[in-house]
Amino acid sequence: MLSAKMEDYLKAIYRLEREGEPPVATSTIAETLDVTPPTATSMVEKLEDRELVEREKYKGVTLTPEGETVALEVIRHHRLLETFLTEELGYDWSEVHEEAEILEHHISEEFERRVAAALDEPTVDPHGDPIPNDELEPIDDHSASALADHGEGARLEVARVRDRDSDELTYLDEAGITPGTDLVVEEVAPIGMVTVRLDSGESVALPDHIADAIQVRTPDDSVADEVSKV
């Protein structure tokens, strides 16, 4: 049986692989999980012994198929729990990440199945992140890009928002920017501010670090995604 720490490492490596090109450097894993490089190296060695990662000296690690399956299972637990907490227990979307981080390691597969059924098999969590299916197939989540990467005049739809900072989520909620929100980039200021106009006609100024937390797609991408699901 894997420890919660081991699962956290596998989940982090999976995310880092998706954000860049594997192998993932041990120093990057350490920074992501806020541990020292020697601590990360020690855990990576344990995961390698269990054949959950492959390590290339001086380069980094890559998940094995078994390691990827474990990571996807933990991610599925996490995102189902976030959805359950918001839809069934009345939690705000800014509150659920930390709760799900704790609970994701301790639910049974039967509980997971019942939660998914009770929620009518959701495909995304409250922040717009895709939920791995019950077959734990790799997530197709490359259709979105950061709002901060788009220029003035771009017409976009919010796909998802980063869920790790409750203050960011509260800020966006109060501004009316949630997954599914349509917006137009009005101004990209050199002082580190992006101004967007919502369908309501309201303009919202977003600091760069907030704009970087918002993943968007073009309307054409949204239509393609819907067609691919049919």
User: What mean pLDDT comes out for the span 176-191?
Assistant: 95
Q: C-alpha 51: how far from its chain's center?
A: 25
Identify the pLDDT of residue 164.
84
Identify the pLDDT of residue 19.
86
Four-residue CA torsion sign, 10, 11, 14, 20 = negative
| C-beta separation of 89 from 123 below 8 A | no
CA 53 – CA 67 distance, rounded (Å): 6
Q: Which pTM does this prediction carry?
A: 0.89
**27-78 pLDDT tens trace:** 999 999 999 999 999 999 999 999 999 999 889 999 999 999 999 999 999 9
Instruction: Between 97 and 223, name the one with better pLDDT.
Output: 97
* Portion of the chain with pLDDT greater than 70, in percent: 94
Set out the domains of the chain in order of their start, with CATH numbers. Answer: 4-63 (1.10.10.10), 145-225 (2.30.30.90)
User: What mean pLDDT comes out for the span 188-208?
Assistant: 94
**Beta partners for 130?**
124
| C-beta separation of 29 from 12 below 8 A | yes
Q: What is the DSSP letter of 186?
A: E
- Number of residues that this document lists for the chain: 230
Identify the pLDDT of residue 227.
32
